[in-house]
Structure 1
């Protein structure tokens, strides 16, 4: 078994990078700066912050959170678990995978953070209390129990760049108001109960690069819904009720690196043509489809790769399976030129699982674990860089 601490820097960075690609698709680290335009309608103070955070704590079962270090104490807010601050303002509230339950309180709008990350909890209810969070750029709410309609008011948060509502219990059609989010770069709402048509102007958004709406009840014409999606990099509308022919503009797009249309009412021939990639790979390996939840694991890393590298990536994916809660690799399915690299990845992941006394049953579990590992590694590295740049401790970086 490989000791994570003894792994080469190259391998650790590679695994962390893969984890970032898994969760964010096109992950970008954005640090708050004085150039960010905060709303002027409310001057947030530490007192109002503490009031809002206390309400959030009590409404979501804070005593039972996995981590609640510093909360409801007199400690500086920067020492409260999950908070990042800049110039006296809370910029990031990251309570992902932290056993939050209950509903979001109205007071949460007083925070008006840039990133709100509440993924992988058990939160319920609707999202109406988020409608006045005008500064939010990344709203990450996947893998909870949120329900009801997606609020039209989310379309008023014009600062949104990343919106993830996937793996919840939302119903009702996708609001047309979301087409007003001119800065939106990534929108995911897969694995809900969304009926109706995909808003035709959604793909008109100038910065949109990633759209994932698979595993819903979406209907309508494939051609009308997707003809304007040619500039996207990643488009997944699998397992809906779309019908008709795939528009030629989509199949000839030079921007799309990933397109998944499986499970819709289109011809089998076309489905075989548009499942994985457009550069040398025309069909999806059957074994990949057997892995529960595997939709884009690691494939986005192929975007800037050569045809040969992309082919190796898919063949490596074809060799991955889960056995007794750990990653297993079928050696005969891995190209001999990459077997060592794949084995290192396997040992890295399994070592982490064993040391953390964690086991996985699906690829979704793996994505979740790698995301946590990536976040921990990135935070550790940022702190190391800070210590190198500020040996006397003039500046303190805090992120959890």
Structure 2
């Protein structure tokens, strides 16, 4: 047995020789050149100062790190190449490689675009509807709309279930439907149809044009999306009454668009990084949003004398009634009817679970922070 023993020193020595041979073999092999990074030109629909540019940067950080530097994304703000509402056309045409946007910005091509962002509210939150996109058939409907119906040369992914958007900014408090009759109001997508049904006149403007339009009297009131974006726009300088809670845009998510030719030219693993990077950044965006939106809402109240209200029950009821009027008209389109049927079926089942399972968070909040919710 002593003849067959291998000493630790001999074993290490043999391993070292083998390693040296392997190293020699590696050096003798042909040199492998590092892959040149793929640069993707992505424009957003947001001004450079908007917090949503920070959300887009979170995506870029994850994609570039997961790809080991094989993908580089050149991020541009709205207007750098095309206007905020033109990014879809630019990606389709190959003027841009990618865009960070929302589908309501191209609902002029087909109103069904708004069903993937700000459609009728059957009781589901943005999280509910993002789940519908991934698990309830939404992804297949989106492909049918973009590829088969519109013939667009794009690939799209969805992430970040946005908190419900505020009813918006008003110079004076509004509590009844009569209070807002005839208002010139900024919104986008099917929310524009909704507000017109309620007796408002609507202007569809990108975010960077909202406050100047308010200053010039082009609009009387407006919504964009959240306290952070609104404060960065300077909303607090043109109005002091901020109404949270609304059914006009309660379930939106970001749309990550890519030119199909560019996307298909990438290796499979890079395609996967671009796609699943959206799911990764959805969590990061949500965390940043909850932090910044809440902090900036507090700043608006404490430093800018903004009065925060909850939208009245009368106005919320009127919004639901307006949706009731709009939905049959939307369903005259066969494709939209199929999408809405799918959404209703999903919400009826999923939200029953969500609501039945959810504890009363208001009760718990008021227990620990009494009086804070008396808006």
What TM-score, normalized by structure 1, do the two folds share?
0.18
Radius of gyration: which is bigger? Answer: 2
Report which structure shows greater RCO (CA 8 Å, sep ≥6): 2
Structure (1/2) with the larger helix percentage: 2
What TM-score, normalized by structure 2, do the two folds share?
0.19
